[in-house]
Amino acid sequence: MKIITVRKAVNSLFMLISLGFCLNTQSQNSTVNQDPKFEQLLNEKRKINTSLTVNDSYKIQIYSGGSENAKKTLNDFKQNFIDIDVTIVFNTPNYKVWVGNFKTRIEAERNLVTIKDRYKNVLLIKPSR
């Protein structure tokens, strides 16, 4: 009977020491070295995500069609309107060129007037996901 009690005491003591060791090892700080390109990539992703937010914004669609013409339209728009964001969105089977990220409809309509002079088939849209 004393052997069982001694065994329980030794096992309990062993478990307490092991638990203390585990708790001690988990509390140590570690440092992570990350590649500087990772931060640059993360910033680019954040930039893309903010330009694609579609819930509360209006956009102007200036082109819908093939991939090559969409790229040409995007480059042409970037040269003529430097201050306005532009993105290409693929919506089967067409590529669409969306312009701006306007918070209000009035702001979008003001820009629509100036853009309409350069591009003929423009639409004011409020995209949804």
Residue found by looking up tokens 């949804």 in the block: 128
Question: Looking at the predicted structure, is the pLDDT value of residue 123 above 80?
Answer: yes
CA geometry: angle 81, 98, 120, nearest 5 deg = 70
33 token code pair: 């070295």
Print the domain residue range for 95. 55-125
Number of domains the chain is built from:
1
Q: Give Cβ neighbours of residue 127 (< 8 Å, ≥ 6 apart).
A: 54, 57, 59, 98
Residue 48 falls within a domain, yes or no?
Answer: no
Residue 114 falls within a domain, yes or no?
Answer: yes
Give the pTM: 0.56
- By CB atoms closer than 10 A (0-12, 13-18, 19+), residue 65 is middle
Residue 110 falls within a domain, yes or no?
Answer: yes
Residue 82 falls within a domain, yes or no?
Answer: yes
Residues 99-120: tens digit of each pLDDT: 998 989 999 999 999 999 999 8
- Evaluate whether 125 touches 102 at the Cβ level (below 8 Å): no
Residues 30-43: tens digit of each pLDDT: 788 888 888 888 88
Strand partners, 59: 125
CATH code for position 116: 3.30.70.1070
